[in-house]
Copies of this chain bind each other. A is one copy, B any other.
Amino acid sequence: MATETLSAETQDSESPSKSKSQLAYDYLRGEINSGRYSPGYRLVLATIAADLDVSVVPVREAIRRLEAEGLVEFERNVGARVTMVNPREYEITMQTLSLVEGWATCASAPLLSKTDIARAREVNLELSETLDHFDPLAFTSLNREFHTILFEPCPNPHIRELVDRGWARLGVLRESIFSFVPGRAKQSVAEHEKILHLIETDADPLEIELAARNHRLATLDAFLEHETARSKHTRIKETA
């Protein structure tokens, strides 16, 4: 009956104390985001419930939410597993991300302070510095940081949430791309600077949106070309 498991951190006097369902959700999402649960990982209800010292019911609810978010896949009478990101899935997700992140970046642009932009530029500098002694993992992490600065102030919470889900969904995969196609990293840094420049100069919103979108699509293209040299990916052309 776990009466004592109220436990540790919060609790005592008057904390709201997250629901078990929320606890399970946060836990699972954290494990997935961090990559500790990598794509394909099997989510066994009883095991997770035992780990968190709760019953399976809240865990099931958490998994249902993750399912609706596309982070885990469910099969009747078999169970849930972290969504696999095969090449096709990667393409679809990156496409979606390019769309929502492009918009989010564009919508955030006028809300960015000079400090924000300076910070982003600093991160991009670090990115360019890693190019010599190239470390895909570090690069990926900084890359995420860079983009987060740029889409964070997005005033539309739905779209903001979709951006987050997209990044989460790519999971571990997102690291490999820069290992596969090292040349992409350098180009990426240059495109970052271009985006910053557009923001600084109050460029046409549409131009910013498309720059951000195509930046992501270019990474996707690099991946697809690596996958199958002959693949031809349709994308929106740059407006000259």
Contact with B along A73-89 (1 / 0, CB 8 A): 00010000000000000
Q: Is there a chain B Cβ closer than 8 Å to A114's Cβ?
A: no
Determine if A2 is an interface residue (Cβ-Cβ < 8 Å): no
Q: Which A59-82 residues sit within 8 Å CB-CB of chain B?
A: 60-62, 64-70, 76
Number of interface residues of A (CB under 8 A): 36
- Give chain A interface residues in 148-199, CB to chain B under 8 Å: 156-159, 162
Residue in B19, B93, B156, B236 whose CB lies within 8 Å of A96: B156
Shortest C-beta distance, A101 to chain B (Å), equals 11
Copy number in the complex reads 2
A99 CB contact (under 8 Å) in B19, B65, B100, B239 = B100
* A57 interface residue (CB < 8 Å to B): yes
Contacts A61-B64, A99-B99; A236 near B70 (Cβ below 8 A): no
A139 at interface, CB cutoff 8 A: no
One digit per residue, 1 when the CB lies within 8 angstroms of any chain B CB and 0 when it does not, for chain A 97-122 equals 00110010010000000000000000
CB of A198, distance to nearest CB on chain B (Å): 14
Closest to A161 in B: B70
Q: Let me know if A206 and B236 touch, CB within 8 A.
A: yes
A166 to B, closest residue via Cβ: B158
Question: Chain B residues near A66 (CB, 8 Å)?
Answer: 68
A237 within 8 A of B: yes
Take A205-B236, A206-B237, A209-B236 as given contacts and tell me if A158 and B93 are in contact as well, using a CB distance cutoff of 8 Å.
yes
Interface residues of A (CB under 8 A from B): 16, 19, 21, 57, 60-62, 64-70, 76, 92-93, 95-96, 99-100, 103, 106, 156-159, 162, 204-206, 209-210, 236-237, 239
A-B interface, 7 closest residue pairs, ranked by CB to CB distance from nearest: A68-B68, A64-B64, A65-B68, A96-B158, A61-B64, A64-B65, A68-B69
18 A-B pairs within 8 Å (CB atoms) are namely A16-B76, A19-B76, A57-B57, A57-B60, A61-B61, A62-B64, A64-B68, A65-B67, A65-B68, A68-B68, A68-B69, A96-B156, A99-B103, A100-B100, A162-B162, A204-B237, A206-B210, A206-B237
